[in-house]
Amino acid sequence: MKVANTHQIVLAGTSLGVRNTFHSIVAILTTLVVVTTVCLRQDGGHLPPKINASGSNSSSSSSSSKCDLFYGKWVFDNESYPLYKEKECTFMSDQLACAKFGRKDLSYQNWRWQPHHCDLTRFNATALLERLRNKRLVFVGDSLIRGQWVSMVCLVDSVLPKTLKSMHSTANGSLNIFKAKEYNASIEHYWSPLLVESNSDDPVNHRVPERTVRVKAIEKHARYWTDADFLVFNTYLWWRRPVMNVLWGSFGDPDGVYKGVEMLRVYEMALRTWSDWLEVHVNRNKTQLFFVSMSPTHERAEEWGAAKGNNCYSETEMIAEEGYWGKGSDPKMMHMVENVLDDLKARGLNVQMLNITQLSEYRKEGHPSIYRKQWDALTQEQIANPNSYADCIHWCLPGVPDVWNELLYAYIFHQ
């Protein structure tokens, strides 16, 4: 009998012989329990290796019983990918519909993420909807996690009849709800780019010259998502500045105290407020929690060896260098998140990190660039220099966020 490549248990025919049948059976059963426990254990970014129909491990020569889903490579696969067609997704966002807005090279849609020592289970929309029956899956955060939400909606959209799905907004437009009526399931996005309360909380008018956060205030947002069955958070992009304005008090309160504080310290305070709220208010017997790591940007082409002053505009190939890490991704912020999640785990609440940063770092060609709806009219200077308005932050769909959701899907079914 073989359980994975790394755990072989011989039931008979050993050179040592078996003198006591009863003790041998006990030893075998004990070993099986231990091996099963190891294979099912989740820790950090690991899942059990995928077992194929024959019972053998799809991993090659790993010495571990766990597979790091986030450590792998991109494989071109134009037979299986994309998982849906851009123009057939009912609720596609014009911010992410790159083909609609003129992009001709569509190979960014045909890449599959392949972990080194196992396979990702193929996304099954019907299975996910069944898992979500009578439940809420809520994405909370900024426009990047909104893109992941749009991706998830597109992934399930095609299996639902037109009359059995709907989309509506509430909470002054902050909460967008996709409903699969037959399953009484909802897939939602709540706009909260800094998680805690801020002066950027309006889902439309959130561009402000100076960003201010109330690091101790989260209830305004959290009351809309605390009772969800699956919660997926992110917050990174909106923190990218050396100093943040912190408000002690309420917006509009003449007695409020404002102070500029080093960003990383404010980031920690906000994460602590968020984690404290989760610990007190989330039903740990009901809700699965996830945190999506920072989504990389590709705004400086010299970082991957191209001409200085360029960015993702006109890029059609991914970065080949294994382990490439751009300067736009801040390890200190990532470690801060890890520390907060570790503290929560020590208090009995598990939040699974979806570590999408490294795998997304390679995908410089996956951004909308100039191929998206432009909310403001372009100037003649911008038209003459496409680099100046290229979007190298968000991601085309179908594309990279679909893989983020494949990873989320794996954890929803294995956790």
Is 388 a residue of the active site?
no
128, HSE (Cβ side, Cα atoms, 13 Å): 28
Residue for token pair 């050396």: 242
Cβ contacts of residue 124 below 8 Å, gap of 6+?
none
DSSP state, 265? H
CA 147 vs. chain centroid, Å, equals 10
Token couple for 93 = 């966002």
DSSP symbol at 19: S
Active site annotation includes 142: no
Closest CA to 243 of 216, 266, 209, 219: 266
Cα 29 from Cα 105, distance rounded (Å): 56
Among candidate residues 142, 229, 391, 402, the one labeled active-site is: 391
Alpha-carbon separation of residue 34 from 27, 65, 357 (angstroms): 11, 11, 33
Query: Rounded CA gap, 63 and 72, in Å?
Result: 16
Cα–Cα distance measured from residue 276 to residue 274, given in angstroms and rounded to the nearest whole number: 6
Given 65, 143, 151, 295, which residue is catalytic?
Answer: 143
The DSSP annotation for 53-109 comes to TTS-BS--S-SSS-EETTSEEEEE-TTT--SS-GGG-TT--TTT-TTTTT----GGG
Q: CA 354, CA 338: separation in Å to the nearest integer?
A: 11
Answer whether 186's CB lies under 8 Å from 180's CB: yes
Place of tokens 């991601």: 395
- Active-site residue, from 189, 221, 298, 394: 394
Q: Is 369 a catalytic residue?
A: no
| Catalytic center residues | 143, 391, 394
